[in-house]
Amino acid sequence: MARFPRPYTPRLLYTLYSTRTTASQSPSPMTTLLSNNFHLQFRHFSSGNLARAAKEGEEPWWKESMDRLRNIGISAHIDSGKTTLTERVLYYTGRIHEIHEVRGRDGVGAKMDSMDLEREKGITIQSAATYCTWSGYQINIIDTPGHVDFTIEVERALRVLDGAILVLCSVGGVQSQSITVDRQMRRYEVPRLAFINKLDRMGADPWKVLNQARSKLRHHSAALQVPIGLEDDFKGLVDLVQQKAYYFHGSSGDKVVIEEIPTDMENFVAEKRRELIEAVSEVDDKLAEAFLNDEPISPTELEEAVRRATIARKFVPVFMGSAFKNKGVQPLLNGVLSYLPCPTEVSNHALDQTKNEEKVTLSGTPDGPLVALAFKLEEGRFGQLTYLRIYEGVIRKGDFIHNINTGKKIKVPRLVRMHSDEMEDIQEAHAGQIVAVFGVDCASGDTFTDGSVKYTMTSMNVPEPVMSLAVQPVSKDSGGQFSKALNRFQREDPTFRVGLDAESGQTIISGMGELHLDIYVERIRREYKVDATVGKPRVNFRETVTQRAEFDYLHKKQTGGQGQYGRVTGYVEPLPPGSSTKFEFENMIVGQVIPSNFIPAIEKGFKEAANSGSLIGHPVENLRVVLTDGASHAVDSSELAFKLASIYAFRQCYGAAKPVILEPVMLVELKVPTEFQGTVAGDINKRKGVIVGNDQDGDDSVITANVPLNNMFGYSTALRSMTQGKGEFTMEYKEHSPVSHDVQMQLVNTYKGTKAE
């Protein structure tokens, strides 16, 4: 073993080691030697000397490496330029060596859009992970889709990230999906920067967008930059913190030239800087003190104050630029390092399963026991690929890890770092990093530990599917591949559900919208070579009761030998509005008229009966069943008898509870030129929509409406023909609400007709 001329400090060793793993070129013999020696010294150090180092007041070995790590996501409305921005980030950080556009003429497509379908349609379908280094910092990036149909991809990316960039279009401003994404960022308490993109486009107005962010997103925000010129005259940016002007030269904007602020902009810049200091001092006491005493505020003081306020989620710094024209990306990367938190600055909680799900705050350091969350699954060429975010501890190749949700013990056969669809094998990873493992069988949202603790991370919020399609393979022989594809997609995507229609025997797939299901049908055709026929889209209706109804049912059957006997008495009623559960069962029997071991069977019977209401055979929601009395027989009563009694009792009283049908209502946002406003509004009324808002945005009208999903099929074609192709719309699920009486009669008659057939 070669000896080092001087003892290496653990921090230096770790830095040497991590630079070896992040470098894209192959390691030199010296680096390999360093790496091998690192492992020896690391093991030696981590056993006894770690405690000694802590006693002597030295910083732990991981401190510098953790401070130089950022986990960020890039999310926004459709076509705001997320993937284009990620492409530029990868180019400037040296991860890729040439830039390709999303819908470029060369046909290569952006690096992060690795699926053929993504490259063809020019949209992001799956979130893709990558990493890069900038100024000695390592940044893990997840690029997410903008379409509301793929909202789960954004949801699970934000669940595991420490910070995010919200991209806003300088022309479109704050749009419906921007609001949804911002709501998700709030739900997971993610600090964020805003980036106003596309300043080179006609009609770009960053100040309008900034005011929209304040009013619509309720952001406490201010600009950190001022553009030098707009639209075709957009030349560069003035940094309000450092008070310097940045220009971007070279064919790809990689030469950043720093100059003094142009003289004609000095007054405007001074006014905007004062506005920035005022906004930050409202939420930061240290800066407020200096501001009120009229002390001159240095760039360092201002930068530190913005960082404190951003990490505390009290302030959103706003950056500007044009990713497509290669301007403003490098200052944004500096902003990520300066203002977004490192993994140790974010508090994450786990639930201790041994102490009745008590909340435990994780240290977020490599010293603790391993805690990792599987947040995304993907079927790769080599089997299932599981993306893990490590919250605490270290994971090594060959280690045994425990899946807390299933109780299984698994060996880590292969550990990789992802760069879109490419992989790089690594030996180990520590807290704060995002890695992937092969050959680990688990579900999305499972927690892994090293076995010393029984923690689970809180899972993410999964929205309910709003639309269903009937699908079946064209040829009988391809049934195996077809079910394999559906099983895989169901495991990968929690919002994609597969079921069987008991009456027609068809396979029903459910998802978040037309585009979502179309993409999956197309993927079955491409990836599994199975042609599938698609039926008419079906809407996921629900049923509910509107008043209290009593039931008293006796189920008695005598057929020689042991018979069946069970009597249940009680009532059903609607749950109060806003209740968290969809079904509630309460046993109010005093005494032992029904033995307690039969109560679960009664609850099961009512649950089963509520799976299909008698109006149109859809599940019954917002239902409370109360059991008040009953009777049993010493010999003939059984679980089956009581289960059947409750099913028949439910059917008996259901009609008296005045049931209604609920349909999914979508929040639709339309942007149409003002001259077509009347036609479009008339069409929405015809579709039984309720217009809830109408704003003016330049020459366009922005109409917000609540429209039943059943009346929205094929709307994109209708809207294009009404507005000469100039209108656009987005929709997302809002709620289930009761249908009108005539629609209910129509649906019931259709259901009875199909049943009779």
Whether 145 has a binding-site annotation, put simply, is yes
Whether 80 has a binding-site annotation, put simply, is yes
Whether 76 has a binding-site annotation, put simply, is yes
Residue 343, C-beta contacts closer than 8 angstroms, at least 6 positions apart: 66, 69, 71, 162, 364, 431, 432
Whether 403 has a binding-site annotation, put simply, is no
Whether 147 has a binding-site annotation, put simply, is yes
Whether 143 has a binding-site annotation, put simply, is yes
Whether 197 has a binding-site annotation, put simply, is yes
Residue 669, C-beta contacts closer than 8 angstroms, at least 6 positions apart: 175, 176, 702, 703, 704, 729, 730, 731
Residue 572, C-beta contacts closer than 8 angstroms, at least 6 positions apart: 545, 548, 549, 551, 623, 624, 625, 626, 650, 653, 654, 657
Task: Check: CB of residue 198 under 8 Å from CB of residue 293.
Answer: no
Task: Check: CB of residue 236 under 8 Å from CB of residue 327.
Answer: yes
With CA atoms as reference, report the closest residue to 306 among 330, 328, 278: 278
Whether 454 has a binding-site annotation, put simply, is no
Whether 717 has a binding-site annotation, put simply, is no
| Dihedral, 17, 22, 28, 33 alpha carbons, nearest 10 | 20
Task: Check: CB of residue 142 under 8 Å from CB of residue 157.
Answer: yes
E strand or H helix that includes residue 308: helix 299-311
Q: How far apart are CA 639 and CA 51, in angstroms?
A: 60
Whether 401 has a binding-site annotation, put simply, is no
Q: How far apart are CA 594 and CA 631, in angstroms?
A: 6
Q: How far apart are CA 246 and CA 260, in angstroms?
A: 9
Whether 249 has a binding-site annotation, put simply, is no
Whether 39 has a binding-site annotation, put simply, is no
DSSP class of residue 360 equals: E
Task: Check: CB of residue 606 under 8 Å from CB of residue 650.
Answer: yes
Whether 205 has a binding-site annotation, put simply, is no
With CA atoms as reference, report the closest residue to 163 among 69, 62, 285, 280: 69
Q: How far apart are CA 323 and CA 346, in angstroms?
A: 29
Whether 409 has a binding-site annotation, put simply, is no
Q: How far apart are CA 75 and CA 83, in angstroms?
A: 9
Whether 83 has a binding-site annotation, put simply, is yes
Q: Binding site membership for GTP: which residues?
A: 76-83, 143-147, 197-200
Q: Binding site membership: which residues?
A: 76-83, 143-147, 197-200
